């Protein structure tokens, strides 16, 4: 049987890029689908226990969230946790027409909190229009709506996750190349034009340790390497960005549990 299977698969050409089972608590639970042509100046700011995705089909309006104001128009979309304070208002002259999907999803809710902006662009306008058309015909199923939510999920988080991944890979490279220069969290955040708090949060989420801990890990990993190759403590400290040998030795001992002078080949006495 195993031989037969091998023969069959060897005649096909295929590539597997990614395999992962979706966690059970990631599933979407649709609540409501709808659309509305809003009156001029219409305001919505009522807290509700649900998540929502809005797509602007025509007109204009303003979204206010976390002290920020977003001016939106045709083709824009936004995602919200309606438990959190938010307000959106139709334009007085060109009030928007929007479509919405309300749903529950525990994991989705946590990921929304990590977004820098609730606004996104989508090429999946059909997620709203086709689902509404099915609703009008009485043939809309929860499974169909869930499939559209997964499409929108990629629009909301896909580019963000790719961009974030690129930033963090680049940040790690910068640290590896500049560990001896006294690089800081602030330097990296400024380089990538993001806040220190946000950068620290996404860095720790990716690497499991803080930026400062990561820098120390690289810096003292190099120091250990230098000492084991026979370099004296002062030289190793200087190459790792420390002008204060005492401070270097103290931090080294905190990390490795031994004094740098006790490292094989690193004892200054062995250099005499």
What sign does the dihedral 158-159-164-169 (CA atoms) show? positive
Evaluate whether residue 101 is within a structural domain: yes
Which pLDDT belongs to residue 91? 96
Which pLDDT belongs to residue 270? 43
Residue 147 shares a structural domain with residue 48:
yes
What is the full per-residue pLDDT of the chain (272 aa) written as tens digits? 444 444 444 455 555 444 445 555 567 899 999 999 999 999 999 888 999 999 999 999 999 999 999 999 999 999 999 888 999 999 999 999 999 999 998 888 888 888 888 998 888 899 999 999 999 999 999 999 999 998 898 888 876 555 567 788 889 999 999 888 878 898 998 888 778 887 888 888 778 899 999 999 999 999 999 998 889 999 999 998 888 889 999 999 999 998 888 875 544 444 44
**Among 108, 119, 117, which residue's Cα sits nearest to residue 83?**
108
SS3 124: coil
Evaluate whether residue 107 is within a structural domain: yes
Evaluate whether residue 116 is within a structural domain: yes
Which pLDDT belongs to residue 79? 96
The boundaries of the domain holding residue 265 are: 213-271
The total of other beta-carbon atoms located within 10 Å of residue 91's CB is 18
Evaluate whether residue 66 is within a structural domain: yes
Which pLDDT belongs to residue 4? 46
- Under a CB-based contact definition with an 8 Å cutoff, are residues 182 and 239 in contact? no
Evaluate whether residue 9 is within a structural domain: no
Residue 148 shares a structural domain with residue 74:
yes
Q: Are strands 119-121 and 60-65 parallel, antiparallel or unpaired?
A: unpaired
How many domains does the structure of the chain reveal?
Answer: 2
**Sequence-separated (6 or more) residues with CB below 8 Å from residue 160:** 115, 116
pTM (predicted TM-score): 0.54
Burial class (CB within 10 angstroms; exposed 0-12, middle 13-18, buried 19+) of 18: exposed
Evaluate whether residue 153 is within a structural domain: yes
Residue 81 shares a structural domain with residue 145:
yes
Which pLDDT belongs to residue 1? 44
Written in H, E and C, the secondary structure of 130-159 is: HHHHHHHHCCCCHHHHHHHHHHHHHHHHHH
**Sequence-separated (6 or more) residues with CB below 8 Å from residue 96:** 38, 56, 57, 58, 59, 60, 61, 72, 73, 90
Residue 154 shares a structural domain with residue 221:
no
């Amino acid at each position: 049987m195993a031989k037969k299977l091998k023969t069959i698969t060897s005649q096909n050409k295929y590539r597997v890029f990614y395999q992962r089972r979706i966690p059970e608590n990631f599933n979407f639970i649709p609540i409501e689908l709808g659309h509305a042509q809003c009156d001029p100046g219409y305001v919505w700011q009522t807290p509700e226990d649900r998540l929502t995705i809005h797509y602007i089909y025509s007109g204009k309006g303003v979204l206010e969230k976390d002290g920020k104001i977003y001016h939106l128009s045709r083709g824009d979309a936004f995602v919200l946790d309606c438990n959190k304070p938010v307000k959106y208002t139709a334009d007085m002259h060109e009030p928007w027409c929007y479509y919405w999907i309300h749903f529950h999803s525990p994991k989705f809710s946590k990921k929304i909190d990590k977004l820098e902006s609730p606004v996104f662009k989508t090429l999946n306008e059909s997620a709203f229009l086709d689902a509404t058309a099915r609703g009008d015909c009485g043939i809309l199923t929860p499974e169909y709506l869930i499939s559209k939510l997964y499409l929108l999920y990629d629009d909301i988080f896909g580019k963000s996750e790719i961009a974030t991944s690129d930033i963090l890979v680049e940040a790690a490279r910068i640290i590896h190349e500049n560990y001896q220069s006294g690089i800081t969290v602030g330097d990296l955040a400024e380089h990538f034009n993001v806040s220190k708090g946000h950068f620290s949060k996404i860095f720790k989420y990716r690497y499991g340790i803080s930026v400062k801990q990561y820098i120390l890990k690289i810096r003292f990993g190099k120091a250990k390497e230098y000492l084991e190759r026979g370099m004296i403590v002062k030289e190793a400290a200087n190459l790792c960005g420390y002008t204060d040998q005492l401070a270097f030795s103290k931090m080294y001992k905190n990390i490795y549990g031994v004094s740098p002078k006790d490292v094989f080949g690193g004892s200054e006495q062995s250099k005499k």
